[in-house]
Amino acid sequence: MRLLRQPGFTLSVLVLITVAVAIVAPSLLATHDPYLSMPKDRLLPPSPEHLFGTDNLGRDLYSRVVHGTALSIVSAALAVVVGVVVGGLIGLASSFLGGPVDFAIMRVVDVLVAIPGILLALIVVATLGFGPISIGLGVGLGAAGSFARVMRAQVLRVRNEEYVEAARTLGARTPAILFRHVLPNAARPVIAVAALELGTAILGVSALTFLGFGAPPPAPEWGALSSAGRDFIATQPWLSIIPGLVILVVVLSVNRVARAIGGER
């Protein structure tokens, strides 16, 4: 309840609720058909009729941003899930097994972390083909190294606790100890990192769609919308600026709520 008294947190929650509605039922927020071209209305500035203006084909930019929310956020969410699952399993196995296995796995993770995430994502997209799923997988694999390090640190903290030693003494097998005792107690910090990583994933997905690696036109992904307005930046700057501002606001809102989940104020 104390958090709800903070204007920044409250505003961030409202932004995320709006994003959720746009994902589940975009027609409730959109005012026009996002794919309908109206040549007579092309390149109109923001107005009560067209809140974000119109693009070079006369399509309502606000409605395209709303309908593009699902594509952008779902790709970012997929990236976080992939990063948590792959990185978490790597960190879990590495820390619990220990010894030379831990050393070898973590050296591989160091190499993975040293590769820029956007470069790794580009490699994955080039291998699997363009599209939201490929982008989500690529961005997620790029983040897996960070999740592996966090999970490893948490498992190292938990694995010598008394309840884990008791489970070993009672004859519990290693998989049972890992998934019944260690993982639940090591997962909370990883979840907090995952919430923060969602904002980074949105930026990564938007960057790749800006470069043209997302769904083919006329899919209204946020990065693609911002990219499409580059040719008109001097005369109709809203075509690029408004989608970029939407990305910025959503990422800041995600980060604010994630910090609250992690215990910060």
pLDDT at 18 over 90: yes
Quote the CA–CA distance of 24 and 82 in Å, as a whole number. Answer: 22
Q: Give the mean model confidence (pLDDT) for residues 72-93.
A: 90
- Number of helices (H) and strands (E), helices first, in the chain? 10, 0
Average pLDDT over residues 179-195: 77
CB 208 within 8 A of CB 135: yes
Residue 105, pLDDT above cutoff 70: yes
| pLDDT for the residue numbered 6 | 72
Whole-number pLDDT of residue 3: 58
Query: Which position has the token pair 């070079």?
Result: 56
pLDDT at 16: 93
Q: pLDDT tens for residues 132-148?
A: 889 999 999 888 888 88
Nearest-angstrom CA–CA distance, 221 and 225 = 6
- E strand or H helix at 240, and its extent? helix 238-261
Which residues does 227 contact at the CB level (< 8 Å), separation at least 6? 209, 210, 211, 212, 240
Peptide bond into 218 cis (omega under 30): yes
Q: Which of 6-10, 151-155, 227-231, 248-252 has the highest mean pLDDT?
A: 248-252
Identify the sign of the CA torsion 166, 168, 171, 172: positive
| pLDDT value of residue 124 | 87
* pLDDT score, position 262: 63
Confidence of residue 4 (pLDDT cuts 50, 70, 90): low
Rounded mean pLDDT, 26-30: 92
pLDDT the model gives residue 88: 86
Summary mean pLDDT of the chain? 85
> Amino acid identity, residue 116?
P
Lowest mean pLDDT among 22-31, 52-61, 105-114, 160-169: 160-169
Average pLDDT, stretch 104-109?
A: 88
At residue 54, the 3 state secondary structure works out as strand
- For the entire predicted model, the pTM comes to 0.86
Burial 153-178 (b: 16+ CB within 10 A, else e): ebbbebbeeeebeebeeeeeeeeebb
Half-sphere exposure of residue 221, counting CA atoms within 13 Å on the CB side? Answer: 30
